[in-house]
Structure 1
Amino acid sequence: MLAELSIDDLVLIAAARLELAPGLNVITGETGAGKSLLAQAVGLLLGQRGGEELVRPGADRALVQALFVSGDEELAVARELPRGGRSRSRMDGLLSSAAAVEEALRRRLAFYGQLEHTRLLQLERQLDLLDGAAAAQIRPLKQAYEREYARARALTRELAELRGAGRDRERELDLLRYQIAEIEAAAVEPGEDERLAVERERARHAGRLLERTGGALQLLAGESEAAALDGARVAQRLVGEAALLDASVAPLAQRLDALVAELDDLAAALRDYIDTLDVDAAHRDALELRHDKLTELMRKYGGSADEVLAH
């Protein structure tokens, strides 16, 4: 039961102490005497909204305290409304949430106002009254229904998860199909990124490479009288003739034969290399486009052409 109610600085009440006796307690008075404020104070303990507008003018805070007694058990609760701050609730002197205080008082206090009958219009209240009126008969059915309802909700969630997983799988398959098609359309070859890097460097310096290797070929086997291969052939012929006259010159002739053969092979290799050089701008542009495409694929699917193919 509510044994004591204490109010400080609430609206018009500076201080009030109310001790209630067991049984029926009736509070009477004319309109404006403060009966509604007593009811409002109890409502604040039960968690009703309240702000600094309820603080008495000139006061720093409003405070409502109550003592509930049930046999040997006592519970002290309080609600403080500071001016310019958030309200605070306490149970037995310790800070507590308004919800915890409301839960503790729900078993000790039933609070009814003038419009309490309107609760009958609330669907959940109607169900509570119906269940309470036929508790013995309805409770087993209600418990069975609640179990089946919980099971149905769980199955519904599980079904939604399975459907979501199926949609995720389809999206993943669509993504994989797109990726495979993109890689196949690009016709990536193993090791292509390494070969392409070499070709791009060669194409970038094709002009300078042609100038230098072409110049070397001219010095080695050009049409000028100073060409190294022509000079070596003349020397080969002369030393060969000398070897016919003196056998000791034969080793020199053999070395000149080998030198001429090596110079001839070197000239042929230079010609073959020069034939591979392409100074055409269109060729360079094609290599750059291929490089851009391959770089895009490697950024998506791996750091090399081999990793792209293994994706």
Structure 2
Amino acid sequence: MYGVVVKKIRLDKGLPLKSVYTEVCSKTNAIKFESGERTLAVDKFYQVLSNLMMTMDEFQWIKNGYRPQLDVYHSYRISKSWNANKIAQFEKYIRHIESSTIGIERIQLANYRLLENYEKGLKLNEQELSIVIDYFSNLLTWTLSDLKFFANNCYFLPYPLMGQLLKEALKVQSRYKYYPNSDHVFATVLINCIERMIKEKDVSNALSSLSILNDLITGITMDGYRLLAKYYEAKITFLYLDTEAGRESLEDLLKVANFFDNSQLAEEIEELLK
């Protein structure tokens, strides 16, 4: 029960009942809540978490014994192995999901299988692709989870659809302006879409999206995105605008990538410059 976990957190913080439950509920109801005998309305529960200086995400983390839920864990491992280009690990986690009973949604599994096909250069499974397309086609309101999901799928969605979905995704940016780390989510969406645009030789939209990205990636915590943005700018210049100027920028970026031990980016730049 949530109340039992709240009680432990409250006591570990050395907080009396009144400091957590004032203007939330009576002392009697607070005691019953913490003993698991009653629940609190959602708005009151969030007030309790606020009084504990804690977010719902952190509360769930503590409630689960400082571990992620299995579906979250496997999604994390798959994303981590994909971004690090560790394909063997990526395939291993997909196999585990396919054979386990963690209850991951069918739509997510379709995405992982499509990513696997994409990385191997295989023809995309039309059934899996239709599942993903149907999901976005029926999407009326975007959440941050949808944005993350879109970022994973923009590599292989039909290109015109990807462009339409990017416009829809950016429309909700204002809703999450003050939501923690939402800028990172939108930056990831833009980075992945820009990469696809460059592959499609859609220079105009790539440059336009880079402009949006550069307005977004301010502050030291966005330096990783800024490095990628500079890379894509240099890549576009090298491939489509001014070869020599682009080469010079790429060589400078290669030094930065090596300095930060970003081997994946360094390898991409070296391959491009061959």
**Normalised TM-score (structure 2):** 0.21
> Which structure: greater helix fraction?
2
Question: Is the radius of gyration larger for structure 1 or structure 2?
Answer: 1
Greater length-normalized contact order (CA 8 Å, ≥ 6 residues apart): 1
Going by fraction, where is strand more abundant, 1 or 2?
A: 1
